């Protein structure tokens, strides 16, 4: 096991057309970090040249092969200081004369490996082609190192590939913009894969584009170990490969709990065609006509008496229905309680479900309610969907925590339902710790994901605010819920997400239930979170289009889902190692 080591994230503002000045500045900052004891030093995306190039001809004087003159200058420093350096630069492949946005890992012995940006942002196609080297993890004397570049990390698949290949640390070089940083996406990718993330972002203004800074080092538990706001500088922290190799989220062995046999959809891209046409092909399961609807995420503290829980569910449902809700989502095990699920578990024919159905019929709304289900000798952690038209079906939790395995069996199938306003998918609690789960439902055409949950552990963090100026309406001030894992889950899948968590602060359940919008970077945010001691958050969701054959709303268009590169993702569906 490699020993703990000091790492550094370098923040820097390169200037276009001043390559020598940029390289000299980066070498000085890297040298300073190395003098301070850093063994792994990460610099920003395209740090040698700047980023906002108009076209291939404009960047042509500044591209280089790897290895080449620039990498050799950093290699000389790596040899002298016995460190590893990640450099972001535009690369030319001499064999094809194609250009790439690349990151290169350089060690004391020279170039260790290169990553070419696989998932382009809007600017790369002006001059570069998508990367063709896949997503590798490089074994070094200090640990296992993965490289990702900016937009790559929007896609859950890229960081998951790094985690599955054993990365201790993801070095993410970026020119991140349009939000306050450290970005929630950065935090999620470290957290969901149980590894460190070194974020080297640029700052400053280039061709009218304001970059966000916020370079940082993020621990596997989502803690920000070190961070810069604006300006050139260095953030340093210790990385312990042993912590990363435990691969835990909230103490759960996250990679061992994956269900790759259920992730086959990850190798497809159902949004490569007009989804209106695709999902009605052969007349099979067309998407419902989209429209606006009010959706509520409720929170409560269920006890062990199902009848008492049903009364509270009824009170909240009546209040939400009075405000026009068409769907109310309740927490995990809301009907049967949290403490003795195997004893309070209900069979499918239980009279209490008849009463729940009567409530939905009376109020003319749909209810998603978590409960412990008994089926013969087996128990499941389940959620039922009932509506005015009857019981539509149930979902059995696919990803169980280690504690849940003492009383429940895992489910074996995803659950989707077509409601009058859109396609609904169900997940429960710990399912959402697995980014593959939300992605599969998105690929199946879900407009909305309902997630009954009973999450105790931290899934959110605040931000003190940034001094980096941003154009309105991008927020820069303090935010107590800057990172909310379930907001990220909504945005990365271009789905609405109704997260209904248990609220019992004395027992460690924080609530923070809410309905989150399908576009992470749309400000003001399209979301609502339960405030104070409230019992639900209500949001008008929209799944409709403005007319014509092509969807005009991101929830139906699913831009981020469309931009995936499934040919890179084969390892995600490989059987789990014993």
> What residues are annotated to the active site?
45, 117, 150
How many C-beta neighbours within 10 Å does residue 122 have?
7
3-class secondary structure, 529: strand
**458 vs 428: CA distance, rounded Å:** 17
φ/ψ of 511, rounded to 5, equals 75, -115
3-class secondary structure, 451: strand
Tokens 């008492």 -> residue: 308
**159 vs 118: CA distance, rounded Å:** 12
How many C-beta neighbours within 10 Å does residue 548 have?
8
The H-or-E segment that residue 448 falls in is strand 448-453
Do the bridges between strand 292-298 and strand 346-347 make them parallel or antiparallel, or are there none, so unpaired?
A: unpaired
**186 vs 64: CA distance, rounded Å:** 29
CB burial of residue 218 (10 Å; 0-12, 13-18, 19+): buried
**556 vs 526: CA distance, rounded Å:** 16
DSSP output for 115-175: EE-SS--TTGGGT-----S---EEE-SS-EEEEEEGGGGGSHHHHHHHHHTT-SEEEEEE-
* CA-closest candidate to residue 440, choices 386, 393, 398: 398
3-class secondary structure, 350: coil
The H-or-E segment that residue 358 falls in is helix 351-363
**Residues in CB range of 58: below 8 A, 6 or more apart:** 127
**425 vs 560: CA distance, rounded Å:** 18
């Amino acid at each position: 096991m490699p020993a703990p080591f000091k790492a550094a994230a370098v923040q820097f503002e390169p200037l276009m057309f001043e390559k020598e000045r940029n390289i000299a500045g980066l070498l000085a900052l890297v040298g300073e970090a190395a003098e301070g004891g850093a063994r792994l030093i990460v610099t920003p995306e395209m740090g040698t040249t700047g980023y906002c190039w108009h076209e291939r001809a404009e960047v042509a004087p500044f591209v280089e092969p790897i290895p080449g003159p620039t990498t050799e200058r950093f290699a000389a420093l790596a040899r002298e200081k016995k460190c590893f350096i990640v450099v972001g630069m535009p690369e030319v492949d001499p064999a094809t004369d194609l250009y790439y946005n690349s990151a290169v890992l350089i060690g004391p012995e020279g170039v260790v490996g290169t990553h070419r940006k696989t998932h382009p942002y809007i600017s790369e196609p002006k001059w570069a082609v998508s990367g063709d080297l896949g997503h590798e993890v490089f074994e070094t004397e200090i640990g296992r190192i993965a490289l990702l570049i900016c937009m790559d990390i929007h896609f859950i698949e890229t960081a998951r590939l790094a985690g599955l290949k054993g990365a201790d640390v993801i070095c993410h070089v970026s020119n991140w913009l349009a939000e306050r940083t450290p970005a929630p996406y950065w935090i999620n990718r470290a957290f969901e894969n149980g590894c460190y993330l070194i974020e080297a972002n640029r700052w400053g203004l280039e061709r009218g584009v304001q970059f966000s800074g916020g370079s940082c080092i993020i621990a596997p538990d989502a803690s920000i170990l070190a961070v810069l706001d604006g300006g050139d500088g260095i953030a340093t922290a210790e990385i312990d490969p042993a912590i990363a190799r435990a691969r835990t989220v909230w103490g759960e062995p996250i990679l061992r709990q994956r269900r790759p046999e259920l992730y086959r959809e990850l190798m497809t891209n159902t949004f490569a065609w007009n989804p209106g046409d695709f999902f009605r092909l052969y007349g099979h399961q067309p998407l419902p006509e989209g429209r606006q609807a009010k959706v509520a995420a409720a929170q409560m503290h269920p006890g062990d008496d199902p009848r008492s829980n049903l009364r509270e569910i009824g009170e909240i449902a009546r209040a939400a229905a009075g405000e026009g809700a068409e769907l109310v989502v309740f927490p995990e095990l809301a009907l049967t309680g949290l403490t003795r699920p195997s004893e309070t578990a209900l069979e499918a024919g239980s009279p209490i479900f008849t009463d729940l159905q009567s409530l939905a019929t009376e109020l003319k709304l749909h209810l998603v309610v978590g409960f412990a289900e008994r089926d013969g000798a087996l128990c499941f952690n389940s959620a039922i969907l009932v509506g005015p038209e009857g019981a539509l079906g149930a979902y059995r939790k696919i990803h169980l925590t280690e504690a849940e395995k003492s009383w429940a069996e895992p489910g074996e199938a995803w659950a989707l339902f077509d409601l009058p306003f859109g396609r609904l998918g169900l997940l429960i609690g710990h399912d959402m710790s697995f980014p593959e789960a939300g992605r599969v439902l998105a690929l199946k055409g879900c407009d909305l994901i309902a997630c009954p949950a009973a999450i105790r552990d931290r899934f959110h963090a605040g931000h003190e605010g940034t001094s980096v100026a941003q154009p309105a309406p991008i927020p820069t001030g303090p935010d107590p819920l800057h990172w909310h894992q379930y907001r990220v889950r909504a945005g990365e899948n271009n789905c609405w997400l109704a997260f209904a968590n248990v609220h019992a602060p004395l027992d460690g359940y924080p609530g923070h239930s809410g309905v989150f919008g399908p576009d992470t970077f749309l400000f003001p945010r399209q979301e609502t979170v339960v405030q104070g001691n409230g019992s639900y958050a209500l949001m008008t969701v929209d799944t409709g289009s403005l007319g014509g054959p092509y969807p005009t709303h991101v929830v139906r268009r699913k831009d981020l889902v469309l931009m995936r590169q499934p040919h890179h993702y084969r390892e995600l569906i490989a059987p789990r190692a014993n």
